[in-house]
């Protein structure tokens, strides 16, 4: 394990002599690839706070942030990886998307830098989707999950029950349609938000085991499972009912969220980070996606530690890059939670911050405390062309161009 002068650093911090210690270090500049370019991103503010904290702790390490939108960064990152030109430290998804870069020798394994004390501060299973052949290729900053957000003011004004079952969800859609209120939204143009909705439907109808086998291509895995077909058909049924805006397939996530945040849409499936956007809006609540009677999946969640910070394999400053990666992962876990943008995946004592935690964040924590499982989102679990196929086919479902059966039949191509 590389000590990185840890003992000296601790002693100097205790003596209040960090500036003098910093003078002993050569100035280093690192690049950081980020996805929070928009001011509307709930994670942007806690990320900026984390960078400020890093600058205070390590004043000799300067960070130049390359700000990007999430979809644009994925495409840009793939291009940079093909040129072995990734930033020193960067945001990336875990699972199959990460594995693709690992196979291209683009990411530095962190095992030589991580000690038992640091690893012990992570929640159980935090590194499962970032570890391949025993090597750790990134550190998570949030324990992700998707939930159903509801505008309770619209529910109350139209005398509609917050749905707890699939039938109640359909009843809510019908009631809002009759009242002239758009029931749901998603960002079809960005594909991944639509995939998030499709995933939770298939998880509810099929259960964790069947869906896990399919998206991780495990033995016995198939999208022709009866539950997965039922979940895909349920998505198609929502489309046929008119649950979404007419132009939903073309809307980006940001565009789809404008009327949602303006209080004109009743329901929205999105990740826990959306809680940060709703922290000061009393009309919104977070609930578990409705259950399917007869299927043991009511407390199963999509998500888990699915997003990470990684270090480029060819960084010229590996020790400093690791420091930035680890510091940002752990501190953003805390700062994101306190801002309502995430759930912590690093252990911390939040007792002194209880009054800072938004009610909607508490609701999400309560939901996930009852979780029986977390399953990585399908487009993240799958690699390369398989991931693209899933997102493309889900978009076709949203567009009403294919049936649930056709979706599942087309997805069988990943097993060939």
pLDDT, block means (10 residues), the chain with 416 residues: 42 41 79 95 96 98 97 95 98 96 98 97 95 98 96 98 98 98 97 97 98 97 98 98 98 97 98 95 97 97 96 98 98 96 94 92 94 96 96 98 98 97
pLDDT for res 23: 56
The verdict on 261 and 325 lying in the same domain is no
Q: Which residues contact 144 (CB under 8 A, 6 or more apart)?
A: 271, 272, 273, 303, 304, 305, 306, 307, 342, 343
Q: What is the Cβ-side half-sphere exposure of residue 370, based on CA atoms within 13 angstroms?
A: 10
* DSSP designation for 288: P
The verdict on 86 and 137 lying in the same domain is yes
In a domain, residue 273? The reply is yes
Q: What domain range is 324 assigned to? A: 27-143+305-356
In a domain, residue 332? The reply is yes
Closest C-alpha to 378, from 249, 248, 266, 231: 231
User: Cβ-count burial of 65 within 10 angstroms (0-12 exposed, 13-18 middle, 19+ buried)?
Assistant: middle
CB 399 within 8 A of CB 392: no
The verdict on 340 and 285 lying in the same domain is no
Q: What is the CATH number of the domain that holds 61?
A: 3.40.190.10
The verdict on 125 and 66 lying in the same domain is yes
**Rounded distance, CA 27 to CA 289, Å?**
49
In a domain, residue 178? The reply is yes
30 phi and psi, to 5 degrees? -115, 150
Closest C-alpha to 123, from 285, 333, 314: 333
**Rounded distance, CA 153 to CA 243, Å?**
18
The verdict on 35 and 85 lying in the same domain is yes
The verdict on 31 and 82 lying in the same domain is yes
The verdict on 399 and 297 lying in the same domain is yes
The verdict on 196 and 154 lying in the same domain is yes
Closest C-alpha to 96, from 397, 388, 330, 413: 388
Cα–Cα separations (whole angstroms), residue 148 to 94, 106, 169, 406: 23, 36, 11, 26
The verdict on 215 and 115 lying in the same domain is no
**Rounded distance, CA 366 to CA 360, Å?**
10
In a domain, residue 21? The reply is no
The neighbouring-strand residues paired with 285 are: 150
- The pTM for the full model equals 0.88
Q: Which two tokens stand for residue 329?
A: 């992962």
Q: DSSP letters along 209-248, please?
A: HHHHHHHTT-TT--TT-HHHHHHHHHHHHHHHHT-S-TTG
Cα–Cα separations (whole angstroms), residue 173 to 179, 205, 261, 351: 10, 19, 19, 40
In a domain, residue 170? The reply is yes
pLDDT for res 10: 39
**Rounded distance, CA 299 to CA 304, Å?**
13
**Rounded distance, CA 75 to CA 163, Å?**
37
The verdict on 159 and 205 lying in the same domain is yes
CB 88 within 8 A of CB 31: yes
The verdict on 342 and 393 lying in the same domain is no
Instruction: Count structural domains, the chain.
Output: 2
pLDDT for res 25: 86
In a domain, residue 279? The reply is yes
**Rounded distance, CA 289 to CA 147, Å?**
6
**Rounded distance, CA 270 to CA 274, Å?**
7
In a domain, residue 14? The reply is no
The verdict on 186 and 296 lying in the same domain is yes
In a domain, residue 368? The reply is no
């Amino acid at each position: 394990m590389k000590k990185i002068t840890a003992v000296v650093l601790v002693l100097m911090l205790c003596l209040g002599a960090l500036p003098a210690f910093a003078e002993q270090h050569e100035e280093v500049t690192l690049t950081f690839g980020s996805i929070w370019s928009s001011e509307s991103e709930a994670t942007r503010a806690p990320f900026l706070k984390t960078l400020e904290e890093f600058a205070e702790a390590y004043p000799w390490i300067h960070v130049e942030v390359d700000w990007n939108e999430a979809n644009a960064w994925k495409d840009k990152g793939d291009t940079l990886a093909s040129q072995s030109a990734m930033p020193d430290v960067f945001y990336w998804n875990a699972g199959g998307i990460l594995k693709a870069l690992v196979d291209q020798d683009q990411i530095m394994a962190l095992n030589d830098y991580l000690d038992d004390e640091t690893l012990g501060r992570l929640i159980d299973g935090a590194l499962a989707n970032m570890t391949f052949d025993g090597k750790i290729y990134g550190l998570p900053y949030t324990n992700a999950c998707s939930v159903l957000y509801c505008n309770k003011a619209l529910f109350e004004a139209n005398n509609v029950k917050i749905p707890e079952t699939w039938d109640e969800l359909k009843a809510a859609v019908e009631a809002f349609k009759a009242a002239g209120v758009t029931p749901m939204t998603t960002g079809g143009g960005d594909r991944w938000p639509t995939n998030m909705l499709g995933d939770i439907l298939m998880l509810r109808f099929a259960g964790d085991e069947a869906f896990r086998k399919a998206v991780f291509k495990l033995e016995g895995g198939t999208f022709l499972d009866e539950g997965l077909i039922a979940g895909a058909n349920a998505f198609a049924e929502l489309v046929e009912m008119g649950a979404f805006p007419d132009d939903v397939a073309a809307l980006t996530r940001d565009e789809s969220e404008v009327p949602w945040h303006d209080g004109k849409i009743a329901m929205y499936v999105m990740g826990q980070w959306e809680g940060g956007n709703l922290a000061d809006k009393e009309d919104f609540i977070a609930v578990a996606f409705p259950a399917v009677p007869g299927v043991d999946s009511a407390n199963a969640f999509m998500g888990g530690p699915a997003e990470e910070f990684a270090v480029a394999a060819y960084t010229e400053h590996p020790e400093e890059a690791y420091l930035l990666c680890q510091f940002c992962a752990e501190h953003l876990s805390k700062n994101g939670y306190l801002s309502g943008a995430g759930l912590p995946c690093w252990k911390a004592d939040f007792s002194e911050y209880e009054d800072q935690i938004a009610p909607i964040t508490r609701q999400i924590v309560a939901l996930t405390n009852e979780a029986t499982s977390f399953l990585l989102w399908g487009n993240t679990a799958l690699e390369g062309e398989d991931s693209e196929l899933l997102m493309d086919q889900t978009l076709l479902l949203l567009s009403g161009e294919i049936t649930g059966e056709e979706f599942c039949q087309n997805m069988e191509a990943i097993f060939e």
